[in-house]
Amino acid sequence: MIETRLLVDADNHLGEGPLWDVKEERLYWIDSTAAEIYRCRADGSEVERFFVPHHIGSMALREQGGAVVALANGLHFYDFEKQTVQLIADPESDDPETRFNDGKVDRRGRFIAGTMAYDFDRYEADRGQRSTRSGALYRLDTNGTVTRLDGGISCSNGPCWSPDNRTLYSTDTYDKQMYAYDYNVETGAASNRRVFASARGMAGTFDGATVDAEGFIWSALVFGGRILRYAPDGTLDRVVPFPVRNLTSVMFGGPNLDTLYVTTMGRPMWGIPQKERNKGGLFAVTGLGVRGLPEPRFGG
């Protein structure tokens, strides 16, 4: 039996990026626009909060300790004890209209993260009046080198990989499309982008995503109040209703990797009202009958 429950009443402005670390057995997530990182146990207890100096799009833990954080002003190393950052690179320093958004680590320890038009609300107001395809997808190698993998993206989101490492999935949230790339895990190269699934015609759009141990893709349908599961061939396999309309991302975790953690948004966007009492909270979904895959750490 599927059960969805509020795990932490975090009241996040823009909760994002749930990350279960199998070594620490702790769950991390972020509040993008509040510039905060959270950490707790699998059951939602022992909540800790850390601060970063700018809006944060995503984070990944490092093998050497600390984290890699994708901030509005580039990619940085983060020290949890000192709560300080060290700049690695800012590949879009010449474009104040973009910021880093979602990112994850591949199974060779590289961090893949994309950018988006900075102001989500302004994007909607200006739609059709200016180009917003200024976002891109980047790879941070373990030696600190940054490589641009793709461009022409409005809002890069939801990177995740098939269990065999041959396919990289990534979403353009504004365009309501999920893409698949051929991925070379040995080199980190991504090619042959094609539409994997489309949310056009649906209420809501794709946001954060993860892949389970069976190779099925789970996506948070932001503004749509549902979690979608897609088969590897792109067919819609399952729809899980969700009690909060503006869910933002998903990640399997817990001791058995069978709990789906879900972040949500507490502030309205696109003029869509949010009346749910628990908006901005961290949720846990159990009873789905599947397990996730361990999330790698950044190798640099």
- Out of 102, 150, 172, 207, which one is annotated catalytic? 207
Q: Which residues of 222-231 are buried (b: 16+ CB within 10 A; e: fewer)?
A: bbbbbbbbbe
Do β-strands 247-253 and 236-241 pair in parallel, antiparallel, or remain unpaired?
Answer: unpaired
Distance, in Å, from the CA atom of 272 to the CA atom of 279, rounded to the nearest integer, reads 13
Tokens at residue 272, please?
């869509």
Cα–Cα nearest to 113, from 135, 87, 95: 135
Do β-strands 56-61 and 226-230 pair in parallel, antiparallel, or remain unpaired?
Answer: unpaired
Distance, in Å, from the CA atom of 145 to the CA atom of 220, rounded to the nearest integer, reads 31
Distance, in Å, from the CA atom of 298 to the CA atom of 176, rounded to the nearest integer, reads 29
Distance, in Å, from the CA atom of 221 to the CA atom of 199, rounded to the nearest integer, reads 9
Order of all β-strands in the sheet with 156-161: 156-161, 167-172, 177-184, 189-198
Question: Using the 8-state DSSP alphabet, how is residue 212 labeled?
Answer: B
217 CB-contact burial (10 Å; exposed 0-12 / middle 13-18 / buried 19+): buried
Distance, in Å, from the CA atom of 278 to the CA atom of 10, rounded to the nearest integer, reads 9
Read off the amino acid at residue 251: M
Task: Please say if 207 is a catalytic residue.
Answer: yes
What pairs with residue 16 in β-bridges?
30
Q: Do the beta carbons of residue 219 and residue 230 sit within 8 Å?
A: yes
Residues annotated as catalytic are 207
